[in-house]
Structure 1
Amino acid sequence: MTWFILFVAGLFEIGWAIGLKYTEGFTRPIPTILTLVCMVASVLLLGVALKTLPVGTGYAVWTGIGTVGTAILGMILFGDPATILRIACIGLILAGIIGLKVVS
């Protein structure tokens, strides 16, 4: 259950990172509120997960999920570059997340 909570925390991290783009400098109220809700939910769930997971593992996986998800959505939603090298690097981050799960 802890890993599921950490995964959901990572999804909320993706939500707030992508949400920042839509707030337009916190000038749009609805995207700003949704982004702030995602921020709070992400950190709270991370805190719950860290009750049982080692802090280094939990934090690395949380940021990794956020990084991978945000990078992929940036390519899909905002036309960020999707070069082979960039995708390979995202794959390496994903491999690290999976590796930390396997060895924990």
Structure 2
Amino acid sequence: MAWTVLVLSGVLEAVWASALSASEGFKRKGPTALFAAALTLSMAGLAWSMTALPTGTAYAVWVGVGATLTVLWGILTGRERADWSRLLLLVLLVGSIVGLKAVS
């Protein structure tokens, strides 16, 4: 259960990071509200997961999931470029996350 909550918290990290960008410095109310809600839920899930998982592993997985999804969202929306080197690095990042799960 802790792993499921942790991965969902990582997804919410990508949501709040994207909403933060869309808020344009907290000037837009909708993205700002989404940012606040996603941040709160993401942090709560991370904190709860850390009661059952090692802190370093939990934090690395949380950041890795969030960073991967944030980059993919940027690519899908056309705000970031997709090239082979960037995609390869994302595959390595996901592989590292899976590796941490495998050894935990």
TM-score range, shorter chain: over 0.9
Q: TM-score, normalised by structure 2?
A: 0.97
Corresponding position of 2:35: 35
Q: Could you list the structure 1 runs, at least 4 aligned residues long, displaced by more than 6 angstroms after superposition.
A: none
- In 2: Cα distance, 1:103 partner to 1:46 partner: 19
Corresponding position of 1:18: 18
Gaps of 5+ in 2: none
- In 2: Cα distance, 1:90 partner to 1:103 partner: 20
Structure 1 residue 67: Cα displacement = 0.7
> How is 1:1-104 mapped onto 2 (pairs within 5 angstroms)?
1-104=1-104
Identity of aligned residues (%): 37
Query: Per the alignment, in what secondary structure is the counterpart of residue 82 of structure 1?
Result: coil
Gaps of 5+ in 1: none
Q: Deviations over 1:46-82 (max 9, x none)?
A: 0000001000000000000001000100101133110
Structure 1 residue 24: Cα displacement = 1.1
Aligned residues: 104
Q: Deviations over 1:10-68 (max 9, x none)?
A: 01101001111210111001110111111111011000000010000000000000010
